[in-house]
Structure 1
């Protein structure tokens, strides 16, 4: 697994070098984000920063705009959201689409570690509750404005799901898609079921 993670990082950095040549302005504007999210957009579990590489450009752009306008991170309990609001303020409005497209073009990260949970139970709940919107392989669906989940680490996935449950996300009147997730966050009966779904999502992550 360590070798796979190392190979993923090396391939990500090689791809970054190609993208820097293709769009040096977007690559330069991303550098302030790379401190937390990684040079290859692979995320950082210790910092609570999700992987961004390979995520849909439309979704990334919307979330950046949400942070900038205060739609996301508005709840004072959402400390990471407040941090992101401050960071996104360093980007000009016209830079957001370019940075989102740049990140979307990076190869997706593969979450480190072996998924722990009941994959059969996770599969049952995922396919009945989540798959219709997020895709059968957790690849996301741009037509439904849903993000890919398979490249996100389990800690971040659980934190965000619980943020919807607790109302830290999905309560702003302009967050239409967040309100849908707020409603869906009550669909898993127990924490164990949530852990099983997350384990199943991570089991679908594909190496490069």
Structure 2
């Protein structure tokens, strides 16, 4: 299981954290992360980076944890997801609850976990969700047609810790490799940076 974040190049604070250039940051901001792969259907921004982090990133940032949710809270608040029988507050979890949920999900079978990382819920994952959410909410997460309904989002305050032990891989459009910022990130995370052709978008990051 892993954590991912889509990064556009206007995300200055996050990029400064990633490049270790905190001195140039204009202030800390909350950041949002997801469990599993970014949602890539329909295709999104062509010039996006994708950062993949190991799941210990969550546990190492206990002190900076704001909330976790199996549902994309931003989409809920914007009305892209329309719950009919629960409030947004019912999906938000504190660190203790969300970390327990993640640890339970780490123990499901490989095939169930593989589908979860693609935002598909199997019956075994559904049963785990019902331990933490009302049945109606767990059913919504499993059966709603919008994949953002099972994106498993969490929010960290701006002082969160991000270093080499957390980073699995960073996918960067090859058109940005000559920028000073990307050179600093590539230097800091040697061997963990992969480039891709932005013609195919981040959803084509594994295309040779």
Same fold (TM over 0.5): no
Q: When the two structures are superposed, what TM-score results if normalisation uses the length of structure 2?
A: 0.30
Which has the bigger relative contact order, CA under 8 A and spacing at least 6?
A: 2
Greater per-residue helix proportion: 1
Q: When the two structures are superposed, what TM-score results if normalisation uses the length of structure 1?
A: 0.30
